[in-house]
Amino acid sequence: MSDILERTLSTLPRLLVGGLAPAEKERGGSRAFRQFLRSIGNVKSKHDEESLVKKELSLLKQKLAMPKVSSSQRQEILMRLVYCHMLAYDVSFAYIHAVKQAQQGTVLEKKVGYLTCALFFDASHEFVVLLINTIQKDLQSSNVLEVCMALTATTQLVSTEMIPALLPSVQDRLSHPKEIVRRKAVMCLHRFQQMAPEVIDPLLPVIHKALCDKHPSVMWAALYIYQDLSKGNPSGFTSLIPGLISVLTQILNRKLSADYEFHTVPAPWLTVQILKLMAKLGANNPSASEKMYPILKEVLQRTEPSHKIGLAVIYECLETIAAISPHNGLLELATKCVSRFLSATNLNLKYLGVKILTSLVAVNPHYAVEHQSTVLDCLEHPDASIRSKTLELLHRMAQPGNVAVICQKLMDHFQQAGDVHFKTHLLHRVNDLTQRHETHSFNIV
């Protein structure tokens, strides 16, 4: 094991307790644990590792069996067992002790218990039932840290059958004065929605309130619920559009805290999530799309493209414009923005440029005309993914006026290409184009 890896693993106890381990325990907990880590790092074979770990597990099992094991002692033992568990050794004898650790002790000791339970169990494990009362009790705690731990454990450990028992307490936390608690409560509801969508339907008014929360992090968490809900029935959530537009306007006007800025771009990830939701709500819905046109134009014009995160926002805005009901002015503006991606030297940006243009061409092939020569050059690009995406784009942008040029260019590349897989794709595309258009109108050499 390298020295870097050993130092990384030795920080495990501090990670488990949130970096607040007592100073006297230094970097890796007890001296015995640090010595165990070094020994594992120096083993020469799997057999030697198994011997060391089995000896360690035997010692820890004996310590747990001792009468009157304190919560702090059990915390140290559990941290050592987590390491053994990460090495894929059976530590099932300690499962009940992990549950006990979550049920008693200081906040940090309980945190270790919750974390070890999350690592050891999945939602179907029989020991999770023993945690339900503890989680319910901590959800009602006046200590914010305990409430947060319980909410986190709920998202990781609760099964579908346990949701009714915890749902009222989680719902109550949506009105908590601390935004971190409200956010985690929304995340719990999102998890419940993924597991049992029917339990969320009666709570939609409450979730909508979370979407209008004064703190951006809570609103952001609620967006993910609506992302999932709108997949099956986007027309049922078009009432969200004015609120989403209002949030985007606040972001563009820098009304949010500077903490949400990244490379001078205000709240870029929140903006991207809103744009993704707008794309779903506006698809095949002219009246809903019409409300979005002004704000999408503002996003394109006011987002700073000097950094990649700004380009990410612009990319998502272009995809949204291509997804909703067409607007000629916006599509023309989007076509001009595409050149920024196509001309980039960065492979990822160039690929995204081809991808965006493919989406725009699906609306109308006319929007690719001014980029035709650049697109044809992308067929010669050394990156296979760019060549493959370009081939799809050329196939979509073919029209009676340019199909002959495109087919001839594809055949030229067929003769030069060395990749058999790529040549096969070229032939399929040319064959499809000649069948879709009148073959007597052009000749292919």
Q: In the prediction, which pLDDT does 152 show?
A: 92
**What are the distances in angstroms from CA 293 to CA 124, 245, 364?**
47, 10, 18
Q: What is the pLDDT of residues 247-269, one digit of tens each?
A: 999 999 988 888 888 888 888 99
Percentage of the chain exceeding pLDDT 90: 28
| Average pLDDT, integer, range 336-365 | 84
C-alpha span between 342 and 416 (Å, rounded):
23
Q: In the prediction, which pLDDT does 26 show?
A: 42
Query: Are 377 and 417 members of one domain?
Result: no
Residue 359 lies in a domain: yes
| Average pLDDT, integer, range 364-384 | 77
Q: In the prediction, which pLDDT does 23 show?
A: 38
Higher pLDDT: 437 or 125? It is 125
State yes or no: pLDDT of 147 exceeds 90: yes
Q: In the prediction, which pLDDT does 375 show?
A: 78
Q: In the prediction, which pLDDT does 418 show?
A: 65
| Average pLDDT, integer, range 140-156 | 92
Residue 256 is given by DSSP the state S
C-alpha span between 38 and 46 (Å, rounded):
15
Query: Are 411 and 436 members of one domain?
Result: yes
Residue 347 lies in a domain: yes
Residue 414 lies in a domain: yes
**Per-residue confidence at 11, pLDDT binned at 50, 70, 90?**
low
CATH code for position 361: 1.25.10
| Average pLDDT, integer, range 89-106 | 90
SS3 call for 36: helix
Q: What is the pLDDT of residues 46-86, one digit of tens each?
A: 898 999 999 999 999 998 888 888 888 888 889 889 989 99
Q: In the prediction, which pLDDT does 297 show?
A: 92
Residue 305 lies in a domain: no
State yes or no: pLDDT of 3 exceeds 60: no
Burial class of 442 by CB neighbour count within 10 A (0 to 12, 13 to 18, 19+): middle
**pTM, to two decimals:** 0.77
C-alpha span between 422 and 124 (Å, rounded):
46
**Per-residue confidence at 95, pLDDT binned at 50, 70, 90?**
very high
Give CA angle at 113 (110, 118), nearest 5°. 130
Query: Are 411 and 391 members of one domain?
Result: no
| Domains contained in the chain, number | 2
| Average pLDDT, integer, range 240-247 | 90
Query: Are 374 and 420 members of one domain?
Result: no
Q: What is the pLDDT of residues 376-426, one digit of tens each?
A: 777 778 887 887 788 778 777 777 766 777 777 777 767 666 667 777 777
Q: Which domain holds residue 428?
A: 405-444
Residue 30 lies in a domain: no
Picking from 378, 397, 416, the residue at the C-terminal end of a domain is 397
Residue 265 lies in a domain: no
Query: Are 417 and 387 members of one domain?
Result: no
Query: Are 335 and 374 members of one domain?
Result: yes
Residue 296 lies in a domain: no
Query: Are 385 and 434 members of one domain?
Result: no
Query: Are 335 and 381 members of one domain?
Result: yes
Pull the structure tokens for residue 406. Answer: 């495109």
Q: In the prediction, which pLDDT does 443 show?
A: 54
**Per-residue confidence at 313, pLDDT binned at 50, 70, 90?**
very high
Give me the chain's average pLDDT, please. Answer: 83
Pairing, β 265-266 against β 261-262: antiparallel
Query: Are 338 and 355 members of one domain?
Result: yes
| Contact of 120 with 91, CB cutoff 8 Å | yes
Element (H, E) at 266: strand 265-266
Query: Are 374 and 413 members of one domain?
Result: no
Element (H, E) at 362: helix 347-363
State yes or no: pLDDT of 444 exceeds 70: no
When mean pLDDT is compared over 29-38, 322-331, 336-345, the highest value belongs to 322-331
Residue 23 lies in a domain: no
Query: Are 353 and 388 members of one domain?
Result: yes
Q: In the prediction, which pLDDT does 276 show?
A: 93
Q: In the prediction, which pLDDT does 170 show?
A: 92
Query: Are 375 and 425 members of one domain?
Result: no
| Average pLDDT, integer, range 90-110 | 89
